[in-house]
């Protein structure tokens, strides 16, 4: 990791936006990502107690991904159609895997969801990383391909090679380095992991 580049990016960002993500100059950029209040809604929809209703869980997965400003408009209907096409047993499996991804064996949950997505050629980083990011905005990360590739190259992240096919190994290593970088910057740049990654993305331009 190139800490000098990170600190330079921090200085330039705060020069433009002295209040960080609370700065009025960023309001138009931030508002589309916050107005839906998906963090609060996902925490309610995907609380542990809700997983005794698998069909409701998968319906809410479709609903929340459909409302996300960070998922491509092309991927949203494909995910909806994918879930609607699943037989009942696979919907239960998706719900169980999502529970593991959030609250249990994360790797097992991630890889089971990935297997289901792969069956319909829908193995996309956005679809597998967005919902945990909403439920745990300070612990999980959203992997946006263009941002991930740019951040890895610009900030010289160690032992990371981005590939379009999601893997648990990449996610775990990428998340660890994002959290390590996040710990080194001003609090105003990290109201959430998504905001911090937004700062990194804007620093690439």
Q: What is the DSSP letter of 72?
A: -
pLDDT at 158: 87
pLDDT at 53: 94
Q: In this structure, are residues 91 and 58 in contact, taking their beta carbons and an 8 Å threshold?
A: yes
Other CB atoms within 10 A of residue 96 CB: 18
Cα–Cα nearest to 196, from 180, 135, 32, 68: 180
Per-residue pLDDT for 27 more than 80?
Answer: no
> pLDDT, tens digit, for every residue of 41-57?
999 999 999 999 999 99
- Domain spans, the chain: 3-35+140-203, 38-135
* Residue 156 falls in which region: left (phi positive, over 0), alpha (psi -120 to 50) or beta: left
> pLDDT, tens digit, for every residue of 83-120?
999 888 899 999 999 999 999 999 999 999 999 999 88
pLDDT at 32: 61
Which residues, other chains included, contact 92 with Cβ-Cβ below 8 Å and sequence gap of 6+?
54
């Amino acid at each position: 990791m190139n800490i000098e580049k990170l600190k330079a990016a921090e200085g330039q960002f705060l020069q433009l936006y002295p209040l960080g993500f609370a700065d009025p100059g960023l309001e138009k950029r931030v508002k589309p990502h916050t107005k839906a209040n998906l963090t609060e809604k996902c925490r309610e929809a995907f609380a542990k107690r809700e997983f005794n209703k698998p069909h409701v869980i998968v319906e809410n997965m479709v609903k929340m991904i459909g409302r996300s400003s960070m998922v491509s408009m092309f991927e949203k209907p494909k995910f909806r159609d994918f879930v609607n096409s699943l037989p009942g047993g696979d919907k239960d499996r998706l719900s169980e895997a999502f529970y593991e991804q959030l609250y249990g064996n994360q790797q097992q949950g991630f890889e089971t969801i990935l297997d289901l997505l792969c069956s319909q050629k829908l193995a996309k980083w956005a679809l597998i990383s967005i919902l945990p990011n909403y439920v745990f905005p300070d612990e999980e990360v959203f992997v946006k391909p263009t941002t991930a590739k740019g951040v890895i190259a610009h900030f010289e992240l160690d032992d990371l090679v981005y590939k379009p096919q999601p893997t648990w190994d990449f996610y775990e290593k990428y998340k660890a380095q994002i959290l390590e970088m996040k710990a080194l910057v001003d609090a105003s740049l990290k109201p959430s992991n998504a905001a911090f990654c937004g700062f990194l993305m804007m620093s690439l331009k």
